[in-house]
Amino acid sequence: MAHTYDFDSVIDRKGTASIKWDEADRIFGGKDLMPLWVADMDFQVPIEITEALKKRISHGIYGYTASSNSYLSSVQKWMSDRHHWPVEKEGICHSPGIVTALNLIVDGFTEEGDKVLIQPPVYPPFSKAVLNQNRQLVTNPLIYSNGRYTMDFSDLENKLSDPKVTLMILCSPHNPVGRVWTKQELATVAELALKYDVLVISDEIHSDLVFQGHQHVPFATLSEAAAAHSIVCTAPSKTFNLAGLQISNIIIPDPALRKRYKKQVSRFSLSEPNSLGAVAAEAAYSYGSEWLEQCLEYIRQNADFVSNYLQKHIPDLNMVPLEGTYLGWIDCRHLGWDKIKLQRFFLHDAKIALNQGYTFGVEGEGFVRINLACPRWLLKDALNRLQTALEQE
């Protein structure tokens, strides 16, 4: 019988240099904030990961490390079993993190003055990667209608048809709106990107965090042409809570694109994995699937819990239905407050550190993003704080 994992216990993370817990008050400028912001989990990883790390640590030598054959095999098996994606070993390239890879790709695959398209509201480092490199940002805002986000394909075509747009950064599944794009939606993106010869970076860091009834489709599996025009960013870091170990896999099926990417990685001396990160990732991909199933079910119940609580006690707020990721996107616009008042309220009255919607682009104003990957008790506490603060308004 499968082991039952415990996601309910609250494990004290204070004093571990956790950005989420130890830095929240300083970063947000509040006091005793309940941290439900940055995207890592408050859950312990599967025991097999910790055991593999202990074994590696007991060796006592941590010299320069390669992506081993067994590591690459574990990535291949994961992609094949979970995503029906046969990946070649040569196609798996290293980056310490996906944000690093985004910056390397924008820098190495576009020229200064080129335009790069993103779909806000979206993970803020997307726009930063573009602006950091002095490229121009082009936005194709998502449409929010009847409680659901979709892509605006006619606007997308219009923007991609500009010859200056040479790169698009796709978030699939989408942070923060929680959509798992359908095969049809992705096929339309691929068709338009190919038509106008635009390279697609598909950031699929959340691809393992998808709820029943939805299916993640890796962009490169859409067609041979899509594979030849895309760079797919994957990682075990969100899936298994390994962000501090700094390991991700940038999968590039096309040899010419791969050569170019590797040149960038080597230019900044980022070609080799952290020895502990590689061990943890291999153990995660090899033994973590049962843990992940249970974790996803717990997160799904957390999402239901928050959604139901809001409906019952705080009807001015409502959470957009979550198809994937552990990040809830809450619509606060019924409160009728501007972004400054909303931010002040959450920080100083409710004392909860959340990501404010406007940081994901102007399209996110009036929303907040909540991290659901924590023991339910913490969410209950946060919702109580929220309700009490609202009653005192």
Ligand X SMILES: Cc1ncc(COP(=O)(O)O)c(C=O)c1O
Residue numbers of the site for ligand X (CB under 6 A)?
39, 97-99, 123, 171, 175, 203, 205, 235, 237, 243, 248
Provide the minimum distance between the beta carbon of 195 and ligand X in the complex, in angstroms, as a whole number: 25
Q: How far apart are the first and last CA of the chain?
A: 51
Q: Which is nearer to ligand X, 22 or 162 (CB)?
A: 22
Provide the minimum distance between the beta carbon of 14 and ligand X in the complex, in angstroms, as a whole number: 21
Provide the minimum distance between the beta carbon of 235 and ligand X in the complex, in angstroms, as a whole number: 5
Q: Which is nearer to ligand X, 314 or 322 (CB)?
A: 322
Q: Which is nearer to ligand X, 205 or 226 (CB)?
A: 205
Q: Which is nearer to ligand X, 121 or 375 (CB)?
A: 121
Q: Which is nearer to ligand X, 99 or 156 (CB)?
A: 99
Distance, in Å, from the CA atom of 241 to the CA atom of 221, rounded to the nearest integer, reads 26
Q: Locate tokens 């239901």: which residue?
A: 304
Provide the minimum distance between the beta carbon of 53 and ligand X in the complex, in angstroms, as a whole number: 19
Provide the minimum distance between the beta carbon of 96 and ligand X in the complex, in angstroms, as a whole number: 7
Distance, in Å, from the CA atom of 233 to the CA atom of 225, rounded to the nearest integer, reads 18
Q: Which is nearer to ligand X, 203 or 331 (CB)?
A: 203
Provide the minimum distance between the beta carbon of 246 and ligand X in the complex, in angstroms, as a whole number: 8
Output b/e per residue, 162-172; b: 16+ Cβ within 10 A. Answer: eeebbbbbbbb
Provide the minimum distance between the beta carbon of 175 and ligand X in the complex, in angstroms, as a whole number: 4
Q: Of the candidates 335, 339, 318, which has an alpha carbon nearest to the alpha carbon of residue 390?
A: 335
Q: Which residue is nearest to ligand X (CB)?
A: 97
Task: Count CB atoms within 10 A of the CB of residue 15.
Answer: 8
Q: Which is nearer to ligand X, 172 or 351 (CB)?
A: 172
Q: Locate tokens 């041979």: which residue?
A: 224
